[in-house]
A and B are shown apart, each in its own frame.
Chain A
Amino acid sequence: MSLEGKTPLSTYAPNTWCPGCGNFGLLSAVKQVLLHLKEDNKLHQVVLVSGIGCHAKIVDYLAVNSFYSIHGRVLPVAWGIKMANPSLIVIGHAGDGDAYGEGISHLIFAAKRNTDLTFLVHNNRVYGLTTGQFTPTSPKKFKGRSTPFGSPEEPLNPIEIMLASKATFVARSYVGRPKHLAYIIKEAIKHPGFAFIDVLQPCYTFFNTYNFYNQYVREIPPSHPRENLEAALELARRWDYGEKAQEIPIGIFYQIKRPTFEEEALIKKHPSFDLKAYVAQNHS
């Protein structure tokens, strides 16, 4: 028996996403990027880390190294992997419940410390696997199974949060634009530092937003000054993850260079340690 499935990079695990699920688009974009890494003989260096939810099944569907972790905790696991072996290419996958609910502290800190990872949020703005509750990015008044009379809360704007948290690469893409998505993922992997991508990804069963996104998504023009925080914030505020939109910008909002956590914080030397001599010197 082998792990490999019928198509390149796939496994024998049967795919259990709903027909029409936005995760399919994301899977194919990720595959495309991984195939490039395979051509560059780097596939064995890739580690995918996932949380829990529909998004997380992606690691079962790809024959690459992976750590299927727990809900909300993708980033600390990914960080630990990267710190322990900085030569690995670590790609985190999380749902919006994972990234913006259960684990939001980790998200803010990953951005703050600029750990060298790529982080893809499969943002469908609804809990899918737990069958349809509101998430931190659901629009206000969203009627889910836990809020049958409408969510009382304003949605978070994760792009703004990431900009405020000093992330060095902040992007948004949409599974309905597969080429764009693959391009953004590639750029994110290339970026030395914390690369954040909010991927708009409709849940066909519980929150079908295909038409909405198709209508309002606009690619950020090349003239946008990527290293300008004010310009990035202005773009980010054009859509508040509410029910209505005039325009939903997708692309790279912000990108700057800053030393990574791994460069700054890890020890540089691994000298041989003589316990007996050390203890005699320091503990008598």
Chain B
Amino acid sequence: MDKKGLSLSTPLKMQKKFEINILFGGQAGDGIRQLGTLWAKLLAKRGLYVFLYDDYPSLIRGGHNFSIVRAANYPVETHKDQVDLIVALDLETINRHHHHLSEKGFILSEGKTSQGFSLPWSKTVKEAGVPRIMKNTVALGSLAKFCGISFEELSQVVKKLPQAEKNLEMAQKGYNLIPQTISLPSLPEEKRFLFYGNEAIALGAVAAGLKFYIAYPMTPASSILHYLAARRETFGVNVIHPENEIAAVLAALGSAYTGSPAMVGTSGGGFALMVEALSLSAQAEIPITFVECQRPGPSTGVPTYTMQGDLEFVLHAGHGEFPRVVLAPGDAFQAFYLTALALSLAWRYQIPTFILSDKHLSESLFCQNLPEKIPQISYKKWHKKDEYQRYSFEEDGISPLAFPGDKRAVVKATSYEHDPFGITTEEAEMIARMQAKRLKKENLLLQETEKLLETKGPERVPALVCWGSSKGAVQEVCKALGLRFIQPLVLRPFPKRALEKALAPASKVIVCETNATGQLAKLLKYHDLEVDEVILRYDGRPFTTDSLKKKVEPLI
């Protein structure tokens, strides 16, 4: 699709590059996200690539929700501001979004419109005497027909819903309300799957060998908790919701002390409560993985929107000095892989590790494959020779692990500075040796994590540097404008040499992030790497390809 929007006459199959952007809008409680997700599934089954962006206020009923689903015959990892179709379950959707509609776009709604179809969805639902929420299924039916999708195809998706029969009936009624107007291509089906970012994080953790997920609800991390809790028996993972974030992280440390891998997840405010225990994990050398799903701060901020504002916080949180790993995935594939890696590194090095996500990654839907090789939890085992020393001095700084219940070992973990047995010490020499022992791991870590850098495109051109969820938009803009794309996946230990190498040929370095102060740009400068321009967005919304492109163009 070009900017002119949909055309009635063009057979879309014939177009080389195809994409269609649809905005679904309505009130909270209308099932907008479900409608968007079903549409995404329908198109993914056709072999198309899809991406779903979900925008909703912090309330339960009423308000305005919308989802944008972008589908294309090439990979898409973010959405655009301009859409080709609006499916409006209420009038407010049209009022708010009509200016985003492309010139030849369409509106499917219940109201009168000169640009599309007026369809009696509510009346259909009312006459059938089914729950009001099924209006979204009726609308899906209409949309499918509009786009020339066969009812057979549609029913493959609808029949998986609860109350399948009624939903199929509603889909059929919606289908019959409208004539076919356009047609969509289909691609030979490749193996690709649909994951919300948080689902990918959860699955990556399960695949690596997670045993406990402990979390207090907080948007936008809660869907990890919900996804795992509903499937705990299938995954073999205990999922616990304690009294607060402090209990969550400490119970996780208790679990890991017995050899049972644990992960916690929260947003910035919840992580602030966990920081004391982060420092404990470092002193006691207990493996733990934190998932921090950022949202705009400070404080409660804007709970259901996005911001990459906690990078500096997560890099530096905790009293005392200790090694940590901070990984920042930018899509579902990376989220899956890096979460598995975060758990693996936590256990191999006995350190705290982080997945730094945000609302845009956590709650957007991606259409991707899974990595072939999945990092696994493993650790240095105790050989049961001499008397066990939990904090024995080793060349690499990593003391072998034994766990309570082992008849030959007394396992003493502690928050105090300690000697090799784990007995409190205040001796100068021991303090210095133990500090050095823990910090030693950072160099080893760096060798392993430095390669976690994504680069694409020509070298001797301007480079766009980004991290985390900005990846999708930045990558696409790079492709469109022929620029270099650079995304460090690890932010601590800082991959200085790898970045230096990657940035050296670039004619200009432009950092793009969704925060107000340019935290990655500051980090690069701190490490003596040059930054020429910084593009920031800090209104709680992610970069979209079209808006970012406009900001990049004048700079190159």
Contact = CB atoms under 8 A, between A and B. Distances in A.
A45 to B, nearest CB: 6
Nearest to A73: B250
A81 interface: yes
Nearest to A57: B424
Contacts of B393: none
Interface string B266-280: 000000000011001
Nearest to A80: B254
A8 to B, nearest CB: 14
A12 B244 CA distance: 38
A6 interface: no
Nearest to A61: B423
Given A69-B415, A267-B238, A284-B44, A44 B407 contact: yes
B395 interface: no
B300 to A, nearest CB: 20
B506 interface: no
Interface in B191-234: 192-195, 199, 203, 206-207, 211-212, 214, 232-234
A81 B404 contact: yes
B12 to A, nearest CB: 23
B18 interface: no
B247 A283 contact: no
Contacts of A12: 423
B193 A67 contact: no
A215 interface: no
A47 B422 CA distance: 14
Contact of A267 (B203, B236, B247, B248): B236
Contacts of B255: 80-81, 83-84
Contacts of B247: 73, 75-76, 79, 105-106, 109
Interface string A46-62: 11010010000101100
B240 interface: yes
Contact of B253 (A75, A77, A108): A77
**B194, B195, B413: residue with the most chain A Cβ atoms closer than 10 Å:** B413
A87 interface: yes
Contacts of B293: none
A189 interface: no
A225 B260 CA distance: 41
Interface residues of B, number: 64
Contacts of A220: none
Contacts of A108: 243
**B206, B207, B255, B415: residue with the most chain A Cβ atoms closer than 10 Å:** B415
Contact of A283 (B199, B280, B413, B414): B199
Contacts of B405: 44-45, 85, 87-88
B381 to A, nearest CB: 17
Contacts of B44: 284
B238 A70 contact: no
A65 B410 contact: yes
Contacts of A44: 404-407, 409
A231 interface: no
**Range of interface residues on A (Cβ < 8 Å):** 35 or more
A273 interface: yes
Interface in B329-374: 370, 374
A5 B476 CA distance: 66
A253 B416 CA distance: 36
A78 B403 CA distance: 14
B236 A68 contact: no
A87 B259 CA distance: 13
A47 B409 CA distance: 12
Interface in B165-210: 192-195, 199, 203, 206-207
A64 B423 CA distance: 12
A269 B257 CA distance: 22
Given A67-B254, A69-B250, A278 B404 contact: no
Contacts, number: 175
Contact of A88 (B242, B258, B262, B424): B258
Given A83-B238, A87-B405, A109-B242, A11 B423 contact: yes
B379 interface: no
A109 B277 CA distance: 19
A129 interface: no
Interface string A81-124: 11111011000000000000000011011000000000000000
A269 B404 contact: no
A70 B195 contact: no
Contacts of A75: 247
B238 A80 contact: no
A273 B235 contact: yes
Nearest to B279: A70
Nearest to A265: B240
Given A81-B257, A81-B258, A284-B193, A270 B413 contact: no
Contact of B415 (A64, A68, A83, A85): A68
A68 B194 contact: no
Contacts of A267: 232-233, 236-238
A240 to B, nearest CB: 27
A221 interface: no
B343 to A, nearest CB: 14
Given A13-B423, A68-B416, A271-B236, A84 B253 contact: no
A193 to B, nearest CB: 18
A203 B476 CA distance: 68
A34 B165 CA distance: 63
Contacts of B259: 84-85
Contacts of A79: 242, 247, 251, 254
A222 to B, nearest CB: 36
A2 B387 contact: yes
B483 interface: no
B421 interface: yes
B243 A106 contact: yes
Contacts of B232: 267
Interface in A180-238: none
A280 B247 CA distance: 36
15 contacts: A49-B254, A52-B415, A66-B411, A68-B422, A73-B277, A81-B255, A106-B246, A109-B242, A267-B232, A271-B234, A279-B203, A279-B370, A280-B193, A283-B195, A284-B44
Interface of A: 2-3, 11-13, 44-47, 49, 52, 57, 59-60, 63-70, 73, 75-85, 87-88, 105-106, 108-109, 265-271, 273, 275-276, 278-280, 283-284
Q: Identify the 3 closest CB pairs spanning chains A and B, nearest first.
A: A80-B254, A80-B251, A84-B260
Given A44-B407, A79-B254, A267-B238, 7 more contacts: A59-B414, A66-B414, A67-B257, A68-B415, A80-B254, A81-B257, A105-B244
Interface of B: 41, 44-45, 192-195, 199, 203, 206-207, 211-212, 214, 232-238, 240, 242-244, 246-248, 250-260, 262, 276-277, 280, 284, 370, 374, 387, 403-407, 409-416, 421-424
